[in-house]
Structures are given as structure tokens and as C-alpha cells.
Chains A and B, each alone.
Chain A
């Protein structure tokens, strides 16, 4: 289980997260939704400590970290948290100087010190899972965005993290390419992978998330089961936001094949 308690994040004078408390069950998929600048990306990045919370508590597995303003977090603690999380980025961020399979092997070989052969075997199995085994030896620059993102998912899963964090995994992709990524994430969800995703993509969120957290201006406006938040939200703010997403969705589908990117 992952628990975030009273997480505050301050960038200079700007309070981006105002005491957010969320708990994420093992095997569940949680979507963080909300307008741009609402804090969903920052919250996600506070889970693997790419951003260090200003204050609050992070619990992940049997690791509990307390944050206090000005207190430095030991590198070893950060490391232990990161080994329990995997992250998928909006812009894929594959290592361009490594082939697809080398990207997936990198964490196993460099961080976990696995022997090459064993790492290659696991990497191949993961590429198989995301439907990219046939491109194992391709350079990332030769792959489509959807293919790159699928390799990135395999890379994030390689060290068997407790949770897969996805930061707008489909927003840099055209609708058709987004679909192949949605399919892969959906399959992982069915297999019981714990996931937290920040997303604008209603199709992605409504298809695979059980829990939805609606964040606006650094606070949680509403949270609950996806069916309720999406179809029958309590708060006016949530209603308006969901309606605007649906409109966006309809416009995109009507437009046919245009860019699926909504800037974050």
C-alpha cells in the first residue's frame, strides 16, 4: 500500500500541493485528474521523490519517510523509494543511445547488478508483454511514439516495482498511437499492477482506473470510485471539469486523427 499524508510542496513562494492525503491500495489503479497546474504531476513525482515534498509523510511498502521544511532526505532513503517505483513519462524519455532492449535492461544491470544474460531474458519477456519484442534491437529514434512509450513501460516495470507511476502517458501521442498504450496499460491493470496515473485522457482514465482523485489548485476536490466521480460527481467543480473533458474528447474524435495532445 502507498500512503501520502498531508503532502505539501512549495516551489519558492508557490504552494503547489496544499496538504494532500491519498492512499492507494495494492493492485488498484488510481487516476489523478484535474486542470493543468492543479498539482497532479507534482503529486505523482512526490511518490518517487523526483520532487521532495516540503512536508508530510510518504509510506510505500514498509518504508516510511517524514518530510520537514529544510530537512535533507538521505540519498539512501530516496534510492530505496525509487527502487519500489517505476515511472512512465509524457515524453517517453527512452535513453536514445541504447536500443529498446538495452533500455529495459539498464535498471537491472546498472542498479540491481543482474548478470547480462538474466537481464536480457527478463527484458525480452517484458518487451513481449508490451508487444515490442520484434523491435528489441531497434534504436528509440526509429520507433513511433506509441512504440517508444510501450518500451518505456517495459523499462519502468523491469525492476518489479510496487507501483507504476504514469505521468500523462498518452498526451504526447496521436489518438491511434495513444490507443496502443491504453491497451497495454489496461492489460497491466487487469493483471493486478498497482498504478497511479496523472492524465487528461478520459478514455485512459475511465477504461482502467478504479479510483479517481480530482485535484485543483493543489487540493483534492473530490475522490472516490471512478464510476461515481466520472458519471455522478458531487462537486460542481468536478462536474464542469468532466464536462469539458468530454467536450474535448468529442471534438478530437470529430476532428479525426488530429493531435491528441492537451498541453499540461
Chain B
């Protein structure tokens, strides 16, 4: 067996373990929480009172306009100066959640706006309240349109969790770095880490494709503005 293959096979369990207990939970948790933050902030921007809208715009502006790595550093290394001390994993979780929230907020705002106004009126005309119309009519249709852009965000997130290595979270990329420190084989280990990220993104892309087929079964928007 060639040396590189042997090294890859030997390090694989360590990398997979780090992925399983840090990369995957960090990704799933921060995406789920970020999606909720995105939904709430999008609803505020579309329907909320002015001061709250301004606050949300400020939040989106900050978190989309500054580097994710800088945000993580501020939370983990910066906040202790004002007495807020966080462990590495929660610090990363907060950082990714806020970042994802800002991006998904814009996506959700756009897809809710893309549902024709007549769908609101049809819902109201059969006696639905605003929240029933939102839940039963608007969100299911908006959700379908949201799948491709949200999948983009999700796939970026899987890869971006490698930034958590910089604030001492022992996720997969940091596990690779540690092995490099003892074996002095950066090329082999980093190719291996890259391949594992690629595998994870590929699984997500495949899931996205299946979800789109499922959601497209009804044939999309009608000629609502004919």
C-alpha cells in the first residue's frame, strides 16, 4: 500500500469522528437556529413596526458585511474583554447562527414576496386570518422557491464550519491540522479533509435535488397574473 493511502486510511477514523461530533452538529444546529432567526427577521422586515425593521436591517447589514472569521474572533476572543466568556463550541454556534440568520433573512423575505398577492386575497376570501394564510398558503409556496437558495447557504455553511478551527473548536479541519503537526504531511491530510467536505456537500446537493422534485410535483405557480 502506498504511503499516502496508508496515512489517509489511518487518519480517516479521527477525521470522521471529529466531523461526527463537531462539524455535523455545528452545521445542523446553526442552520436550524439560523433559519428560525431568518424567518423571524424576514417577517419583521415585511410586516413589523418601523423601529424593529430598522433594527433588523442593521443586523443584516452587519452580519452580511463583515467576514465570518472576524465575527467568530469577536465573539470568542473579543467578548471576554467585556466580561462575556464563552466556550469555543457555543461561541461558534452563536457566530454561525447569526451569520446564517442574516443571509436566510434576505432569502425568506424575497420568496415570501414572490407569492402572488392574489393568493393572500384568495385565503382571506375563504375567511382565513393573516396567520392562517401565512401558514397554509404563503409559506408552503414560498418554501418551494426557497429550496435552491437555502441549499446554497447550507452547503456554504458545511464548508465554513472549518473556520471554527481558528477559535479552537476541534472540528474536522482542526483534526487534520493536528495530524499534520505530527506527520508533516500537509498535502495528504488536507486533500483528505477537502475530499470529506466534498462528500458532505455532495450528499446535500443530492438531497436538494430530491426535495426539489418532491416540491415541484404540483407544477409551480399558476398563471396567476394572466
Contacts and interface: CB of A to CB of B under 8 A. Distances in A.
Contacts of B49: none
A83 B122 CA distance: 13
Contacts of B137: 95
B125 A141 contact: no
A259 to B, nearest CB: 10
A86 interface: yes
Interface string A74-96: 01000100110111010111111
A96 B141 contact: yes
Given A107-B127, A110-B128, A111-B128, A95 B122 contact: yes
Interface stretch (B13-21, B190-198, B215-223): B215-223
Interface of A: 48, 50, 75, 79, 82-83, 85-87, 89, 91-98, 106-107, 110-112, 139-142, 148, 155-156, 158-159, 172
A151 to B, nearest CB: 11
B225 A139 contact: no
B126 A111 contact: yes
Contacts of A148: 222
A74 to B, nearest CB: 13
Contacts of B141: 96-97
B136 interface: yes
Nearest to A152: B122
B221 A96 contact: yes
B126 A155 contact: yes
A79 B126 contact: no
17 contacts: A48-B125, A79-B129, A83-B127, A85-B125, A87-B122, A87-B125, A91-B118, A91-B224, A93-B116, A96-B218, A96-B219, A97-B141, A98-B218, A110-B128, A110-B132, A111-B126, A158-B126
B57 interface: no
B66 to A, nearest CB: 38
Given A94-B222, A110-B132, A89 B127 contact: no
Tell me which of A82, A85, A86 has the highest count of chain B C-beta atoms within 10 A of its own C-beta. Answer: A82
